[in-house]
Amino acid sequence: MTSRLVGYLLIGQILVYVFVWIINIPLTLTGLRADLDMKLDDLGENRIRAQVAESLRRDSHGVPFIRPTRSLALHLQQNPALRFAVFDLSQASAFEGSSPDLVARLNSMGGVKALAMNFTLDGMGDPSLRGALTKEDTSVGRVFIVTYGYRFHVSDFLYFFRDNARDNFIYFLPVFAAAALITAGAARRGLEPLLRAADFAARIDMNSIDQRIPEENIPMEALPLVKAVNEALERLDAGAARQRRFAANAAHEMRTPVAILRARIDALPEIDCIAEVRHDVRRVQTIVDQLLIAARLGENGAPADVSTDVVATARTLVADYAPLVIASRKEIEFVGPSGPLLVRGDPRAIECAMANLLDNAIRAEPSGGVVLVRVEPGVSIEVVDHGAGVPAELREMIFEPFWRGAETAPGTGLGLAIVRETMTALGGNVTVEETPGGGATFRITLPPRAA
């Protein structure tokens, strides 16, 4: 943005310069600017001077002379009063090809040596004719070019603007550069509050949507935008709070009927499918608990004073699932440290997340296979199966709510989404990768509890 402001400033300065130059021409020609005695024919001096410079040549001995170009010769035919001469810097002698009568009149000035001048001459025909002497860098070196009797032509505007723009641009270049540097510094300083506000806004997510962009020191021109963003954040925060309350209330209302259903199933006599029914009810209860936990974490954040021993939690889950795994002709194994590993977070939230991953692994594991639960000192918890695995292109999509892969796939499509939501609220993460030899390895990472 700063570079654009500097660019706009430079363009604006150039446009103003051109505008002022264009306005000055009619003001000067009409006599409204008394400080400049300029006539319309004076605009022709730049063109004739340029053509005289293009006509300079050197002979075989290196002596410079004037050989009129086609355009200069044409002007001599159209304007018989046109005269020109070229002198070296000492003004001692004119180059061959100079107008003799003009050279004679200039030499008659005696000891006067001009560096630059505009003049008129008496006794040279029309008294309104004007002349000019300027110092120029040409193909034969730096010389004095004198022109006299030039007349205005429409193309003279181009020559006049080119020469004036070149000379004045060099004069004004330091001013342009200084203005650009000052503008860049002022713009950068003025934008610092906006950049800080943008950096603050970039850190706001669903877990910190209650924060607002500080409005202190914001430029007055940008303050309405910052206020509008803060008002939008307030509306989003209110909407998210309503959703969290709805999910929490729904989960809370479902806990009691699910608990009653589980108690009644436990009271039933043993039948062939009772284990599967109990597992299904337990899975429903896990999802309900996860919904409630995720809603509470989203509303209040992770409690800082609650810790969980993930080793003990994993061991307990493996023991609880062992009968179901064995009944389905599979095996389950636990690998982990002998001592506790404490992490910061709600025990039930971590247990539900691990149970969800374990349910998925048991369903995916082929008959006769081994489901592995591994806890590493990182702290990370891995649930490993040897089933079909998860294709690389789906390893993020499976954590989206209601994603099931196929319409006939069992489940609600909420489990993994709730696991990720829970882990994010606890400051952790959940990922999936391929198991060596085939299958899926889900990994939960959690920040260890500070000593």
The 3-class SS string of the chain reads: CHHHHHHHHHHHHHHHHHHHHHHHHHHHHCCCCCCCCCCHHHHHHHHHHHHHHHCEEECCCCCEEECCCHHHHHHHHHCCCCEEEEECCCCCCECECCCHHHHHHHHCCCCCCCCCEEECCCCCCCCCCCEEEEEEEECCEEEEEEEECCCCCCCHHHHHHHHHHHHHHHHHHHHHHHHHHHHHHHHHHHHHHHHHHHHHHHCCCCCCCCCCCCCCCCCCCCHHHHHHHHHHHHHHHHHHHHHHHHHHHHHHHHHHHHHHHHHHHHHCCCCCCHHHHHHHHHHHHHHHHHHHHHHHHHHHCCCCCCEEEHHHHHHHHHHHHHHHHHHCCCEEEEECCCCCCEEECCHHHHHHHHHHHHHHHHHHCCCCCEEEEEEECCCEEEEECCCCCCCHHHCCHHHCCCCCCCCCCCCCCCHHHHHHHHHHHCCCEEEEEECCCCCEEEEEECCECCC
**Same domain (yes/no): 168, 251:** no
**Same domain (yes/no): 165, 252:** no
Range 151-156 average pLDDT: 78
**Same domain (yes/no): 149, 249:** no
Range 356-372 average pLDDT: 91
- Residue 179 within a domain: no
- Residue 226 within a domain: no
The pLDDT, as a whole number, for residue 168 is 65
The pLDDT, as a whole number, for residue 55 is 95
User: Could you give the number of structural domains in the chain?
Assistant: 2
Above 70 in pLDDT, residue 301? Answer: no
Above 60 in pLDDT, residue 451? Answer: no
**Same domain (yes/no): 167, 261:** no
Please indicate whether residue 293 or residue 338 has the higher confidence score (pLDDT). Answer: 338
Among the candidates 143, 158, 173, a domain finishes at: 173
Range of the structural domain that residue 111 is part of:
2-173
**Same domain (yes/no): 20, 155:** yes
- Residue 214 within a domain: no
Range 403-429 average pLDDT: 71
**Same domain (yes/no): 135, 275:** no
Q: Which range among 2-11, 63-72, 97-106, 155-164 shows the weakest confidence by mean pLDDT?
A: 2-11
**Same domain (yes/no): 400, 289:** yes
Average pLDDT, rounded, for the chain = 79
The pLDDT, as a whole number, for residue 443 is 94
CA distance linking residue 74 with residue 55, whole number of Å: 13
Domain at 292, CATH number: 3.30.565.10
- Residue 233 within a domain: no
- Residue 201 within a domain: no
The pLDDT, as a whole number, for residue 256 is 62
Above 70 in pLDDT, residue 406? Answer: no
Q: Which range among 142-146, 148-152, 305-309, 387-391 shows the weakest confidence by mean pLDDT?
A: 305-309
**Same domain (yes/no): 281, 371:** yes
Backbone phi, then psi, for 149, in 5-degree steps?
A: 80, 15
Among the candidates 128, 153, 173, a domain finishes at: 173
Above 60 in pLDDT, residue 165? Answer: yes
**Same domain (yes/no): 50, 142:** yes
The pLDDT, as a whole number, for residue 216 is 82
- Residue 313 within a domain: yes
- Residue 402 within a domain: yes
Residue 42 CB: number of other CB atoms within 10 A? 19
The pLDDT, as a whole number, for residue 313 is 93
Among the candidates 173, 199, 216, a domain finishes at: 173
Backbone phi, then psi, for 414, in 5-degree steps?
A: -105, -25
